[in-house]
Structures are given as C-alpha cells and as structure tokens.
C-alpha cells in the first residue's frame, strides 16, 4: 500500500512536471508531434530530436509500469486472497477495479505500439494519399459556408463557427478508399462522423484554406487502432465497478 | 439510497417548514425564468446577478461569524436561487450550458456545493459541522471570478452534440462535488467534538462520487476526441491536468496506515489532495 501510494504521488508529480515543461515552445511542439503519430513510430524516427520529452516520456512509462506491477502484486497478495476468504462483494469489486485499471493501461500501451497514425494530412479535391496498402482519393470537398472565415486564425475562426456559421451536416468530403488498386469503399466523411473500415478510421478534423487557393481543403487523420473499442468497454466497466463499490461502501456518518 | 433519502428529507423540510418563503421564491423564480428571462436576459444581467450572489455570500459569512444559524440557512436558500438564476441565465444568453469560461463555471460549481451543503445542514447526526466552513469557502471560490474575464464563451457548433456538453457539465459537477468534499475535510481538521471520523467518511464518499462523475465526463471527452482527432486521447496540457485530477482524487483512498492514524492526519492529507484538484481545475488548460 505504501509503495503504491508513493508511486501514485510520483505519477502526479511527473504529470505536474509535464504541465510545466509544456510551457516551453520546443517541448510543446515535440509533444504535439508525438501525439500526431503513433508513439512507437515517433520513438524510432523522431524522439532523438527532443531529448527532454524522451526523458519525460520514459519516466512516465517507468512509473506507469511500476504502478501496474504494484497493482498486480497488491491484487494477488491482498485483494485476491481477501476475495477468496470472504464472499462479500467489497473485496471482489476492489479486485475488479484494479484489474480494469491495469487493462486500461495495457490498452493504452498497445495503442502506442500497434497500428499507425498519420495526422494533419492536407487534402484537396482530386488529390490522393497513399499509405500502407491503401490509397485514398478525394472525390469532392463540399463546403457550403463562408470561405473567408477559413482564412482567419483558429481562435477567430472558432467564434464564427456557430450552428449558423458552420453547417456540419452539409459540409463534408467524399472519399474513395482503394486497397491494392481495388476500390473498397466510397463514402462521405463529416465533422465528428469518421469513415470506418475495420480497425482503420479516416477522421475529418478541419476544413482549411490552402495558400494561393480559393477552394477549401481538409485536414484528416488516418489511424489504425485495434484497441479503441476495447478501451471504451473497459473504461465503462471501470466506472461502473467504482460506482457499485461506492454504493455498497457508502457508510452513514 | 442514503443520498436520495437525504434529498427527500431536505425537500420535505423545504416545503413544510419554510413553506411560505419556499412557495414565493420557487414560484417567482420559475415564472421569471420561463416567461420573462428569455426576452430580457443579457450578459449585463448576469454580471448583476453575480454581484447580488456575492453580496448575499458576504452577508452569510458575517452571519456565520455572528452565529445566526437560522438566518444563515434562510439566506443560503436565496443564494441557491440566485445561483440557479445565473445558471439558467447563462444558458439563455449563450445558448449553451456553462463550458469552460470561469465566469459561468464557477457559479455552476458553487451551485452544486451550496445545494449539497444545504442538504447536509438538515441532517441531525452532525448538525452545523460543515455549514460554518462552507460559506467562507464558497465565497472565496465565487470571488475568484474576478481573476478571469467576465464574459461567456461563444457558441461552437460542436456544443450541439450531447457528449460534448456532457464532458463539460460532468467535469463542472465533479468539481462541485470535490468542493463539498473539501468543505467536510477542512471541517474535520477544525473539529473539536469527535465528529472527525464522520466528516472524513463523508469527505471520502463525496471524493469517490466526484471521481466517478469526473470519469464519466472524461469518458464523454474521450469519445469526442476519438471522433474529432481519431484517437481516444491527445497528448495535451488538458490531458495532463485531467490525469492529475483523477489521480489526486484517488490519493485519499490509498493512504497507508501510517498516514491515517488520527482523523486529523487523514483530513489534512485529503484536504491537500482535494485542494490541488481545485487548483488544477482553475489553472489555464
């Protein structure tokens, strides 16, 4: 318990260090770059350019790993034995909460290693983007609102993007996805409504105005993540188990 | 069940003991809100409402110091209604519930803390133990609005989505619950009547409840992030602070025996953790 407590404190302190480091522009830029890619790819290709972030990230992984090990041992030594001895729901629930937490951490780790992620891909009507064994073709960029707003800076643009200023149900991109030169789908992607193909997701993040052009383009994220659905399932299970635990242990003062 | 029972008892007292005040206040608030407010509400009225609530809080702090307990409760009900007015008003002015601007979120947080404080003021077990410290803390939190711009964030088309509003609203609700937990925790530190364990227990209950509500909000936020950025989380300052807030809410439940020998010791550590959660929320993300 004492070890887990100090690890918890270390993890909090480490995140606080992160919030301070992020004030540096270089650290912020490197962090954004890390988030735009699969972390494993970033570690191999780009991490050497930002040693401070690399050290911080390794520290985070080490504390996280120690915490997971501590949870496993704690779960076996205290919670698992207690749940075998007692038939009451409390130790069983405590055990489940800790198991779900470790699973969530493992799923985070998995999503950093397996799959791929390409962010901020700029596409215009008629353009194409090749990745993995796929090719993405943009058939149409449909933007019905004021294109002058897209030329503004992000914060200013956001003020105009009200329900009346940005019709998210009418603005879309029409895409065709080819796998080994064979068309596998043609679909429209809207804001907050990505295209799915198995574990592959094509997400429309922004409409933007390319330089020296009067026709809007789009920025998309292409990601293959095998763990997202599982992550949400275990996240929900974690919340439910904590809630049940709270209800059964809600003692009257 | 305990919470529902307390809510029921609260409303029972609310309607039968303070029938006269309650009837007039609730009736007037509902009528003004439904008929008049949508037509006349502007940001200016919200600022007036803020100052009125602040004045009522100052009155209540004075009443707490002078130990006028019955009057404190009565003014407390008016503060609750005034906060409710701000909450409804901010929706009418901006077209959305409070999101991140502190001018609307801090009154929203305080509304939850005031509601819970009034609810527990009615319990016979440890009567008046938490209410004394509640008003000064709520007053300080309310006054913090002066550190920020007094304006409402503009409408953004994504606020149409329920999971986006859930993300903001559940986070605000969680902070309100954490504020109530810290009120109990500080009361346990100041306690001289052997009620420390009971107050700590209440603080513990509400800290975990706050954590559950906070996680529900983060779940909605993760889903939003997933649909917008293609991933369930993003390496940003917001993510760092969210992690810090959740981990801090777990500190109280993981205190080693060495650090919780006495109720006061436990209460001090809990207060530090809860205080850091509130500071983390108030820092710019």
Cα Dmax for chain A: 73
Nearest to A19 among B2, B235, B237 (CB): B237
As a whole number, mean pLDDT of residues A48-57 equals 93
Tell me, yes or no, if A18 comes closer than 8 A to chain B by beta carbon: yes
The helix/strand/coil state of A179 is: strand
Find out whether A16 and B279 touch, Cβ atoms under 8 Å: no
Nearest to A163 among B126, B157, B219 (CB): B157
pTM over 0.95: no
Tell me, yes or no, if A111 comes closer than 8 A to chain B by beta carbon: yes
Cβ-defined contact of A166 to B157 (cutoff 8 Å): yes
pLDDT of residue B3: 63
Cβ-defined contact of B230 to A159 (cutoff 8 Å): no
pLDDT tens sequence across A182-208: 999 999 999 999 999 988 999 999 999
Residues contacting residue A12 through CB under 8 Å, at least 6 positions apart: B244, B247, B248, B251
Residues contacting residue B162 through CB under 8 Å, at least 6 positions apart: none
Mean pLDDT value across chain A? 90
Residues 58..87 of A with a Cβ closer than 8 Å to B: which? Answer: none
Tell me, yes or no, if A196 comes closer than 8 A to chain B by beta carbon: no
Complex ipTM > 0.95: no
d(CA B101, CA B17): 38
pLDDT of residue B162: 93
Cβ-defined contact of A232 to B154 (cutoff 8 Å): no
User: Which stretches of chain B score pLDDT less than 50?
Assistant: none
**Which segments within B73-223 are labelled E, that is strand?**
none
Nearest to B235 among A35, A191, A192 (CB): A35
Q: Which residues of A touch B257 (CB under 8 A)?
A: 1
pLDDT tens sequence across A6-24: 999 999 999 999 999 999 9
pLDDT of residue B153: 85
Q: Which residues of A touch B214 (CB under 8 A)?
A: none
pLDDT score of A251 more than 90: no
Q: Which residue has the higher pLDDT, B83 or A83?
A: B83
Q: Which residues of A touch B247 (CB under 8 A)?
A: 8, 11-12, 15
Cβ-defined contact of A252 to B227 (cutoff 8 Å): no
As a whole number, mean pLDDT of residues A141-160 equals 88
What DSSP assignment string belongs to A95-155?
HHHHHHHHHHHHHHHHHHHSSEEEEEEEE-TT-EEEETTEEEEEEEEE--S-GGGGGS-HH
pLDDT of residue B171: 96
The DSSP H or E segment spanning A202 is strand A200-208
Tell me, yes or no, if A211 comes closer than 8 A to chain B by beta carbon: no
Q: A83-87, A115-119, A134-138, B66-70: which range is least confident on average?
A: A83-87
- Delineate the domains of chain A, giving CATH numbers in brackets: 2-112 (no CATH), 116-224 (2.60.98)
Chain B nearest C-alpha distance from A184 (Å): 20
As a whole number, mean pLDDT of residues A144-154 equals 89
pLDDT tens sequence across B226-244: 999 988 888 999 999 999 9
Chain A nearest C-alpha distance from B56 (Å): 30
């Amino acid at each position: 318990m004492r070890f887990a407590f100090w690890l918890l404190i270390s993890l909090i302190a480490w995140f606080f260090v992160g919030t301070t480091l992020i004030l540096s522009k270089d650290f912020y830029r490197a962090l954004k770059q890390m988030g735009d890619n699969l972390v494993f790819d970033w570690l191999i290709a780009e991490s050497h350019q930002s040693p401070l972030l690399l050290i911080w990230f390794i520290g985070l992984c080490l504390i996280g790993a120690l915490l997971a090990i501590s949870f496993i041992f704690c779960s076996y030594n205290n919670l698992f034995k207690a749940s075998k001895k007692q038939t009451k729901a409390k130790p069983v629930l405590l055990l489940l909460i800790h198991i779900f937490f470790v699973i969530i951490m493992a799923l985070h780790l998995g999503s950093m290693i397996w799959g791929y992620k390409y962010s901020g891909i700029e596409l215009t009507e008629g353009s194409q983007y090749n990745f993995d064994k796929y090719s993405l073709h943009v058939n149409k960029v449909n933007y019905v609102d004021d294109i002058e707003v897209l030329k503004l800076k992000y914060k200013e643009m956001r003020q105009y993007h009200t329900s009346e200023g940005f019709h998210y149900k009418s603005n879309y991109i029409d895409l065709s996805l080819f796998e080994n030169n064979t068309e596998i789908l043609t679909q429209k992607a809207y804001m907050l409504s990505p295209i799915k193909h198995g574990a592959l997701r094509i997400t429309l993040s922004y409409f933007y105005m390319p330089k020296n052009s009067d026709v809007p383009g789009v920025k998309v994220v292409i990601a293959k993540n095998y763990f997202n659905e599982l992550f949400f399932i275990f996240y929900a299970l974690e919340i439910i188990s904590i809630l049940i635990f709270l209800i059964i242990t809600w003692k009257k003062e | 069940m305990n919470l529902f029972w307390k809510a029921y008892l609260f409303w029972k007292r609310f309607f039968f003991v303070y029938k006269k005040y309650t009837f007039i206040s609730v009736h007037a608030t509902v009528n003004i809100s439904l008929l008049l407010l949508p037509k006349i509400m502007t940001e200016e009225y919200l600022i007036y409402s803020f100052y009125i609530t602040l004045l009522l809080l100052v009155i209540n702090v004075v009443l707490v110091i002078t130990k006028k307990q019955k009057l404190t409760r009565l003014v407390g009900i008016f503060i609750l209604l005034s906060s409710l007015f701000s909450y409804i008003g901010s929706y009418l002015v901006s077209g959305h519930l409070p999101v991140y601007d502190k001018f609307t979120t801090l009154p929203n947080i305080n509304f939850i803390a005031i509601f819970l404080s009034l609810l527990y003021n009615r319990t016979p077990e440890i009567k008046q133990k938490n209410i004394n410290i509640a008003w000064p803390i709520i007053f300080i939190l309310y006054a913090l609005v002066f550190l920020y711009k007094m304006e409402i964030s503009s409408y953004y088309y994504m606020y149409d989505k329920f999971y986006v509003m859930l993300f903001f609203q559940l986070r605000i609700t969680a902070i309100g619950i954490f504020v109530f937990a810290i009120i109990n925790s500080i009361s346990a530190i100041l306690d001289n009547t052997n009620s420390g364990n009971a107050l700590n227990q209440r603080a513990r209950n509400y800290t975990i409840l706050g954590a559950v509500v906070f996680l529900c909000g983060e779940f909605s936020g993760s889903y939003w992030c997933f649909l917008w950025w293609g991933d369930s989380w993003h390496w940003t300052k917001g993510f760092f602070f969210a992690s810090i807030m959740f981990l801090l809410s777990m500190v109280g439940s993981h205190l080693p025996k060495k650090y919780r020998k006495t109720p006061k010791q436990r209460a001090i550590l809990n207060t530090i953790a809860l205080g850091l959660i509130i500071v983390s929320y108030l820092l710019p993300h």
